[in-house]
Structure 1
Amino acid sequence: MDDTTSIKYSLRFLVLIALFVTAYFARDLILPLILGFLLALTLSPLSRGMTRVGIPAILSAAILITSAAVGILLVAGGTAGTLALWSDELPRIISDIRHKMSGMNDAVEQVRSVTEEVEAIGDGPNKTQTVAVEQPGIVSSAFDTLTRVGATVAVTLILAMLLLASGDLFYRKLVQVFPTMTGKKRALSTVYAIERRVSHYLLTITVINAGLGVVIGTYLALLGMPNALVWGVLAFLLNFLPYIGGFFGALLVSVLAITEFDSVGYALLAPLGYLVITSIEGQLVTPWLVGRRLAMNTVAVFITVVFWGWLWGVPGALVAVPVLVVFKVICENFEPLKTIGFFLSGDEGPLNEAKGNDDSQPASASQ
C-alpha cells in the first residue's frame, strides 16, 4: 500500500469519526430530522395510494400526520396519569419490595455492615469529607425533558407532513441530478427500494407490537395486575427497542407485581409470562411476518442497537434498526457496497443472490 492510499484511508477514517462526533453533539437537531424522514418513508405508500384515488397530496399528508398526532396524544394521555401515580408511590413501592424480600435484605445488610467496618479500619482517623453537589429539582428536570420531547415530536410531524405534501417532487429532482440514464435508474430504484423496505418494516413492526401489547395486557389482567391497559401500551412502546425493550418491560412488571401480590412466587408469573410472550414474538412471529427479504444479521442488528444506544440513548436505539435497513438497501443497490449488504443480510444464500435481488431493478415513478 503506497503513501497516497494510506492517506486516503486515514482521511476517510477521520471524516467518519468527525461525523459521529457531530452526531453526538447535534443529537437534538439531527434526531427529529431522521424521525421525520422515517415517518415520511413509512407513510408514503399510503399517501401515494390516497393520491391515486383523487385525494390531493397536501390533504392526504394532513390526514395521515393528524392521525399520527392523535395516536401519539392518545398514548401519552392514556399512560401519563398512571406513570405519574407510580412516580408518586415510588417510596411505598420500594418499602413493599424491601419488606417482601426481607430475607435477602438481611444478608445484604450483613455484607454492607462488614464492608463499612473494613472501610472504617482502612480510613483510620483521617476521614475524607464528602461534598454534595445539588442537582436540579425533579420538576425542573421533568419540564426540560417534556419540552425536549415535545419539540422533537413537533419537528418530526411537521417535516413528515411537508415531505408527504411534496409528493414526488424530491424523486423528480433526484432523477434530474444524475447526468446519465443509468445513474437516474439506479438512484430511483434505490430510493423506491428504501421506501418499500422501511415502510414495510415499520408498518409491520407497529402491527406486531400492537398485537403484543394486547396479548401482554390481557395476560396481566388475567393474573390480576391493575392497569392492564397501561401495561399493554408500555409493552407496545418498549418492543420498538430491540433486545433491551423486552427485558426492561419484564423487569418493570416484576417490580410492580411484587408490590401487588402477597406471594413472591405468584408475582414472578407476571415477568416470566412477559418474557415468554416476547420471546415467541421475537423468534417466531416477527421473522415470519417481516419476511426473508427484510431479514437482518442479528449480530449486526445488536451491534447497531448498542452503538446508537450509546451515542444517543433510548432514541438512538429506536432509530438504529430503520437506519440499518436504509444502509443495507443502499449497499445492495451499489456495486462497490454489495458485499457489505450481503453480510448485513440474514439470508443464507450465496453472494450472487444478494447481488441479484429484484430491488436492483428500476422502479417506475408511479409506484
Structure 2
Amino acid sequence: MLKDKISILKPIQVLLLLFLVFAGLYFAREFLIPLSFGGILATLILPLSRRLENKGVHKGLAPVLCLLALLLVAGGIFALLIWQVSDLAQNVSEMQQQVTKLLERVQNFLSTAIGISKEKQKEVIEQQQQGAGSGQVSGMVSGFMGFLVNFVLVIVYTYLFVYFRHRLKRFILMLVPDEELAKAEKAISQSAKVSYQYLSGLSMMIVMLWVLYGIGFSVAGLKSAVFFAILCGILEIIPFVGNLTGTGIAVLMAVSQGEGSGLVLGVVATYFVVQFVQSYILEPLVVGAEVNINPLFTIIVLVLGETLWGVAGMILAIPLLGMTKIVFDNVESMKPYAYLIGSDSKPGKKNSFSEKMKKLFKRG
C-alpha cells in the first residue's frame, strides 16, 4: 500500500512542478521575453565581439560596435520595406476597386446561396467596426510604447550579457561540483554555439529566400514583388506559420490586382518551389542540424510558446529548446529527456547532397 502511494506521489509532484514552471513563465512573460531575446542576440554578436577584443578594442566598446552594426542592418531592411510600402501605396486606389468588386461578389454569394441579405451583412459589419474602433487608438499607442520599452531593454540586456559573460560563466561553474566542471563548461560552450549557428544560418537562409521569392513573384507579375519577398523571408523566423502567413498575404495581393487566376497560381507555385528548395537545399546546407529537435517536439514547443508568450514565444521556442537539450545531454539524470526531444540525425552532420554543394562552392 505504501509503495503504491509513493509511486503515485512522484508523478503528481512532476505534474505540479510543470504546472508551476509554466505558470511562472506565463505570469513573468513581460520580464522574461526581453531577457530571453537579449540572451539569444548576445550569442549572435559574441563571436564578432571576441574578434574585436582580440584586435585591441576595449571590452566595453566591442559590444557597442556589434550592436550598432546589427541595428544598421535592421534599419536598412526597415528602410527598404518603407520604400516598398510607399511604392505599393501608389496602387492603392486600383487595389480598392478590385477589393470592392471582390466583396460585392462575396455579398452576392452570401445573399443567393445562404440567404443573408446585403442589408443584414452591412449591419453586422458596422456593429463589428463600432466595437473594434472604440479602443483602437489607445491600444495602438500603448502597444507602440510597450514595443519601444522592450526594444530598449533587449539592447541593454544584449550588451550586458556580452560584457559580463565571464562573470556569468564563473557564477554557473561555482554552482557545479568540481567533478562536473568539465561537463558544465562543455554545456555552456555548446549552448552558445548552437544558438549562434542557428541564428546565423537562419539569417543567411532568409537572405536567400528574399532572392528566390523576389524572382518568383516578379516572374509571376505580382506588384511590389520585392516587398512581399522581404515580408515572406522575415516571417520565416516563425517556423511553419510564418511562411504560410506571408504567402497568404501575397495571394490576397494577387487576388486584389484582379489579373485573373494565372497570377494567383504563379504566386502559389512560387511558394511551393521555394519551400522545396528551402527544405531540401537551403536548410541542410545553411542551417544544418545544429538544433537537433524532432518534428513532434518542434510543433509542441511552438504551440506552447505561442500559448505562453504569443508570437515572441514562437520565435524563441526553437533556439531555447535547442539550448535546453544541450543541458539535458550533459546531465546524466536528464539524458532520457534529451533523447525524447532530439532526432536521429547527429549535430554537425550534413547529408551527402549538402556536402557535395559545399565542395562545389569551395572549388569555385
User: When the two structures are superposed, what TM-score results if normalisation uses the length of structure 2?
Assistant: 0.81
1:141 counterpart residue number: 139
Matched to 2:170, the amino acid is R
Mapped partners of 1:216, 1:2: distance in 2: 60
Matched to 1:148, the amino acid is G
Mapped partners of 2:134, 2:210: distance in 1: 35
Mapped partners of 1:67, 1:308: distance in 2: 29
**Greater Cα shift, 289-298 or 96-105:** 96-105
| 1:50–1:60 CA contact under 8 A, matched in 2 | yes
Out of 49, 65, 77, the residue aligned to residue 67 of structure 2 is 65
2:241 counterpart residue number: 244
Q: Deviations over 1:158-190 (max 9, x none)?
A: 10111112242222232233241x222121111
Mapping 1:20-169, distance limit 5 Å? 20-80=22-82, 93=95, 96-97=98-99, 99-100=101-102, 106-113=108-115, 133=131, 135-169=133-167
| 1:295–1:345 CA contact under 8 A, matched in 2 | yes
| 1:100–1:264 CA contact under 8 A, matched in 2 | no
1:192 counterpart residue number: 189
Name the CA shift for 1:136/1:28 in 2 (closer, same or farther; >3 Å). farther
1:106 positional shift = 3.7
Mapping 1:177-188, distance limit 5 Å? 177-180=175-178, 182-188=179-185
Matched to 1:200, the amino acid is Q
Does 1:276 find its partner at 2:276? no
Matched to 1:344, the amino acid is I
Name the CA shift for 1:81/1:145 in 2 (closer, same or farther; >3 Å). farther
Mapped partners of 2:175, 2:108: distance in 1: 71
Q: Deviations over 1:98-119 (max 9, x none)?
A: 5258666543332331699xxx
Q: Which runs of 5+ in 2 are unaligned?
A: 119-126, 347-364
1:195 positional shift = 0.7
**Greater Cα shift, 135-144 or 35-44:** 135-144
1:176 counterpart residue number: 174
Q: Deviations over 1:195-238 (max 9, x none)?
A: 11111111111111111112212322333333333223212210
1:34 positional shift = 0.6
**Greater Cα shift, 211-220 or 32-41:** 211-220
1:86 positional shift = 7.1
User: When the two structures are superposed, what TM-score results if normalisation uses the length of structure 1?
Assistant: 0.81
CA RMSD, aligned part only?
3.0
Name the CA shift for 1:224/1:266 in 2 (closer, same or farther; >3 Å). closer
**Greater Cα shift, 309-318 or 202-211:** 309-318
1:40 positional shift = 0.8
Mapped partners of 1:234, 1:31: distance in 2: 23
1:19 counterpart residue number: 21
1:207 counterpart residue number: 204
1:312 positional shift = 2.1
1:66 positional shift = 1.4
Mapped partners of 2:144, 2:94: distance in 1: 25
Matched to 1:173, the amino acid is F
1:30 positional shift = 1.1
1:138 positional shift = 3.3
2:226 counterpart residue number: 229
| 1:212–1:236 CA contact under 8 A, matched in 2 | yes
Q: Deviations over 1:1-26 (max 9, x none)?
A: 54345334323322321221232233
| 2:222–2:263 CA contact under 8 A, matched in 1 | no
Mapped partners of 1:137, 1:84: distance in 2: 27
Aligned sequence identity (%) = 19
Q: Deviations over 1:229-269 (max 9, x none)?
A: 32232122101111111111111001111222522322331
1:363 counterpart residue number: none
Q: How many residues get paired?
A: 336
1:57 positional shift = 2.3
Matched to 1:248, the amino acid is T
Mapped partners of 1:114, 1:59: distance in 2: 66
1:287 counterpart residue number: 284
Q: Deviations over 1:253-296 (max 9, x none)?
A: 01111222522322331233123213320343202333345342
Matched to 1:197, the amino acid is V
Mapped partners of 2:284, 2:66: distance in 1: 28
Matched to 2:197, the amino acid is H
- State the secondary structure of the residue aligned to 1:294: coil
| 2:291–2:319 CA contact under 8 A, matched in 1 | no
1:43 positional shift = 2.0
Does 1:265 find its partner at 2:262? yes
Name the CA shift for 1:89/1:261 in 2 (closer, same or farther; >3 Å). closer
- State the secondary structure of the residue aligned to 2:237: coil
| 1:212–1:278 CA contact under 8 A, matched in 2 | no
1:326 positional shift = 1.0
Mapped partners of 1:148, 1:74: distance in 2: 23
Matched to 2:63, the amino acid is A
